[in-house]
Amino acid sequence: MAASVVEGVPTVARIENGATVENEVEFELTSLNSIRLNLRNPDFTTAMRVTEAIQERMGSNSARALDSATVEVGLRGSGKGDVPEVLSVIENLRVEPDSIAKVVIDARSGTIVIGADVRIDRVAVSQGGLTVMVREDPMVSQPNPVTIGGTTVVVPRTSVGVEESEAHFTILEGADVSLQRLVDALNAIGLTATQTISILQAIKAAGALHADLEII
């Protein structure tokens, strides 16, 4: 058998969007007194934004959020025969969903996608002879004495250090560091995708990664 080189992790699989088998439930759309909208991704902030958008378009008492995944819309004022029209109005409303801190990793190709607002706490990771350190050092910016209207502000300053030596762990002060800075540092020194994924999994297991970590 000839020698071969395999990159990434080829022994993974997925079903795009999955599959659902359900029994058909018969009902008449025009007989409904209200309809309930189920959010695909439950979130209280998104549910309230949907409710407010419907109320702004159809009246203050037209909708209410029941929980993080359900918004109920009343149909008494609009008339039962207008259900398709009401649904058409609702589906064309523009609502900005609440952003979710999430990191998605494709283990086969080594692709890493980082969502918005993904942060990590103070952390030091050692893999073999490689130690990765992340810290946040706030810096005070003081305006010159002659500056008119100048104010003193705190400016965040993030530092990422990478050392190759004997394996050891170091805890550094600092918090609220962007995960993107850490990944950029790992890429800069030429770590493989598998090594980067292992480090991210370790940070998540340690409770320092404030985001959902999904591996596909």
- Kindly list the domain boundaries of the chain, sorted by start residue: 29-91, 102-215
3-state helix, strand, coil in the chain (%, to 5): 25, 25, 50
What confidence score (pLDDT) does residue 93 get? 93
Confidence of residue 108 (pLDDT cuts 50, 70, 90): confident
* H-state helical runs in 107-208: 179-188, 193-205
Mean residue pLDDT of the chain comes to: 74
What confidence score (pLDDT) does residue 52 get? 94
Question: 52: which DSSP letter?
Answer: H
Identify the residue with better confidence: 116 or 216: 216
- Whole-model pTM: value is 0.52
What confidence score (pLDDT) does residue 142 get? 59
What confidence score (pLDDT) does residue 37 get? 94
Coil vs helix vs strand at 204? helix
